[in-house]
Structure 1
C-alpha cells in the first residue's frame, strides 16, 4: 500500500532517548500535533512548497486546512486513479467505539476537507469493537492484535477506498485497516497521513513524500 505524507514527525521517544529535536523538527512536530488534536499548544510555522504560514492560537484551524489541501492533492494527482465515488475513511482513533456519536479522527478529516474536492466522500467506515490500550501501552501491538477489534460499519463492497490518518508510525493499524476493508469487499487504493514518525533527521521536516507499506516498520532500536 502506498502511503503519502507531508511531514517528518520526530518522535517523542527519539527526543527523549536519542537526541533533542532540532528547531525545524519542532515545527513539523507541532504541525502534526495540531492536525491530530485541532487545538493550540504553541506557535509554529508550516513550510509548504510556495508558502510559509505562521500558526498561532488565532488561526490554529489552518493546520487542518493545510492537511486537507495535501489530501486533495493526493486524490487529484494524474496517477491516483481516484474516481468521484471514492470513500475517504479515517483510521479510527481510540474513542471511535461503536456507540460513539463521533470521534477525533473523523472530526479531523471532516474539518480538513471542508471546501475541498471529495468533501462529501468522508465516510465513517470502521469502528473499534471495544476500548483498547494506546499503542505505547501494554507492550508492542501489531496488526494481528488490532485487526480482530476493527469492525467495518459502512457498505464498502465493490468500492474504492482511501485511508486517512494523522501519523504513520509502525503502520500496524493501517495494515489491519486495509485487511478488514478488503475482506469486506473494498478496494483500498492508498493512504494519506499527515506525518511519518522518524527517529533521525534524514527526512526533511516538510515535503511531499511517499513510501510503500508492505510490512510493519520498526525503525527504533527498542522496538
Structure 2
C-alpha cells in the first residue's frame, strides 16, 4: 500500500540521541503536531511547493489543517479516485465504541476538508472495541496483529473504495491493521494519506510531496552507538 505524506516528522528519539532538529525540521515537526492536535504550541512556517511560505501563529493555527486538506484533495485528484470513495480516518485512541460526537482523528479530517470540494465521503468507519493494550505488552510497540483484534468496522463498506487518512506514519502497525480489517469486510483500500512520516535522519525533505510503500511494519530507528 502506498502512503502519501508531505512532511518529515523528525523523531524525539533521534533528536535526543543523534542530532538536534535543524530549523526546517522544527517547522515540519510543529506542522504535523498542529495538524494532529489542532492546537498552537509555538510559531512555525509552512513551506509550499510553489515557493510560498506561511508563518503560523496562534491567530491562524487553523491554516495548518487547511494546508493538510489541500494536500489530501490534490492527492485524491491526482490519483483519480472513484467518485464517493470513502475517506476513513485511522482511529485515534479516543475512538471508543460508545463515544458520541466523534474523536480526534475524525475531527482532524473534517476540519482539514472543511469547505473543500473533493471526490470522497468522510466515513467514521473504524472504532476500537475497547482501550488499547499498553505499548510494552507488544515488545515496545503495538504490532499489527495485536491491534487488529481491537478494531471494528462501522457500517457496510463491502464493495466500497477506501482511502485511509492519518496524521503521521511511524511504524505503520495501526494503518496496516486498519487496512486488513477493512479489506476483510469487503472494502478495497486504494492507498493512505498522512500529514507526516517519522524520520530519524535528515535525508527526507522536511516539506515535499513524498510516497513510501508500506507492506510490513517499519522499524527504522537504530539507537545511537556508544563511543569507546
Q: Identify the TM-score tier after normalising by the shorter chain.
A: over 0.9
Query: What is the SS of the residue equivalent to 1:121?
Result: strand
- Stretches of 4+ moved more than 3 A in 1? 133-138
Mean Cα deviation higher: 157-166 or 211-220: 211-220
Structure 2 gaps of 5+ residues are: 224-228
Contact kept, 8 Å, 2:87 with 2:164, in 1: the verdict is: yes
Partner of 2:4: 4
Q: How does 1:82-161 map onto structure 2 within 5 Å?
A: 82-101=81-100, 102-118=102-118, 121-133=121-133, 139-161=140-162
* Structure 2 Cα separation of the partners of residues 37 and 71 of structure 1: 17
1:136, distance to aligned residue in structure 2 (A): 7.4
Q: How does 1:160-175 map onto structure 2 within 5 Å?
A: 160-175=161-176
**Alpha-carbon distance change, 125 to 65 in structure 1, aligned in 2, over 3 angstroms:** same
* Structure 2 Cα separation of the partners of residues 76 and 67 of structure 1: 14
Q: How does 1:16-95 map onto structure 2 within 5 Å?
A: 16-50=16-50, 51-77=52-78, 80-95=79-94
> Cα RMSD (Å) of the superposition?
1.5
- The structure number with the bigger radius of gyration is 2
Mean Cα deviation higher: 200-209 or 17-26: 17-26
Contact kept, 8 Å, 1:167 with 1:193, in 2: the verdict is: yes
1:74, distance to aligned residue in structure 2 (A): 0.6
**Alpha-carbon distance change, 120 to 159 in structure 1, aligned in 2, over 3 angstroms:** closer
Partner of 2:205: 204
TM-score, normalising length from structure 2? Answer: 0.93
TM-score, normalising length from structure 1? Answer: 0.95
